Structure 1
Amino acid sequence: MISRRIFAGLCAGLPLVAAASRGTAQPAGYGTQKVVYHINESGGDENRAYRGALQNVQNHINAVGAEAIEVQVVMHGNGLGLLQAALEDTGLQTVVGGLKSQGVRFVVCNNTLAGRDIDYSSDLYDVWEDDIVPSGVAELSKLQMAGFTYIKP
């Protein structure tokens, strides 16, 4: 059986290959960016909202260039459903792994884990201890104070 981390690593290059095959060029004028994407709602039918949010992240990276952007995705409340759904959804696994391979950090709220009795190691896809922050909302504020642009997809 293949582990989640190995699977994510194998799938990691897929978005990069797709972007390269389209011949996309980095537009001038965007500069270096730091952004935080806030996910705290449910994914809806077939996880469409999660897929849409992750596509926004990929589109942002494609526009600015992976080397010129720092991205964090902060999840709390119903937003943890993204990584719960990814346990069974190989499409979401591929997208999450691809974004991670481009340097995107996925951050999980410990308050939500504790309040909903969620075990990050078995109930969420590819989450490690260093991905957990004490409070998702406090992390959003901290990142904004550090110069990250807030985006709510």
Structure 2
Amino acid sequence: MNKKALYSSALVLAMAVSGLAGAATPEDKTRVVYHVNQGEPGLHKAAVRNVQNHINAVGAENMDIKLVMHGGGINLLLAANDHPDIQAAVDSLKLQGVDFQVCRNTLSARQLPMEALYDTTEADIVPSGVAQLSILQREGYTYIKP
């Protein structure tokens, strides 16, 4: 095989490999869990801003993001009922694939029905926020506490 044919073959192989490397699979996605458990509105705004900044930097298609809320953290979704800016942020993040997860223990302790939280369904409820954080970390999610 002459040098020109060898070079052409190497170029085709390199292009094929780089094309495969560019295709993101679920295993290639950056997996992150954001932990929100404090009740201060400023912290909630900072948390959703951090998540959006993260998406802006990496790309929603390259990420699998969970936002786990327990304790005072569920106040984020309570406040969204009355604040259009928080609603818009939650809606935008959900449209980008962010999975909001709410602690059932917190709902029970505060005697709140799931319906009291903005845009929350049974699929969003996890048995325990703390346990969920541990499960997700064991599954390889990076833990972030904004």
- TM-score, length basis structure 1: 0.76
Structure 1 residue 39 and structure 2 residue 36: aligned?
Answer: yes
2: CA distance, partners of 1:42 / 1:132: 18
2: CA distance, partners of 1:108 / 1:48: 19
For each residue in 1:78-137, what CA deviation from the matched residue of structure 2 results, as whole angstroms up to 9, or x when unmatched? 00000000010010000000000000000000000001101111x110000010010000
Matching residue of 1:134: 127
2: CA distance, partners of 1:103 / 1:128: 15
Matching residue of 1:20: none
1: CA distance, partners of 2:101 / 2:92: 16
2: CA distance, partners of 1:67 / 1:36: 16
**% identical equivalent positions:** 53
Q: Where in structure 1 are there 5+ consecutive unaligned residues?
A: 1-30
Q: Where in structure 2 are there 5+ consecutive unaligned residues?
A: 1-27
Matching residue of 1:112: 106
- TM-score, length basis structure 2: 0.80
2: CA distance, partners of 1:54 / 1:117: 25
Answer 1 or 2: which has greater helix percent.
2
Selected match of 2:117 from 111, 124, 134: 124
Matching residue of 1:102: 96
The count of corresponding residues between Structure 1 and Structure 2 is 119
Structure 1 residue 64 and structure 2 residue 58: aligned?
Answer: yes
What letter matches 1:32 in structure 2? K
Superposition pairs for residues 19-30 of structure 1, below 5 Å?
none
Structure 1 residue 149 and structure 2 residue 142: aligned?
Answer: yes
Regions of 4+ moved over 6 Å: none
Matching residue of 1:90: 84
Higher-Rg member (1/2): 2
What letter matches 2:140 in structure 1? G
Superposition pairs for residues 44-59 of structure 1, below 5 Å?
47-59=41-53
Root-mean-square deviation over aligned CA pairs: 0.8
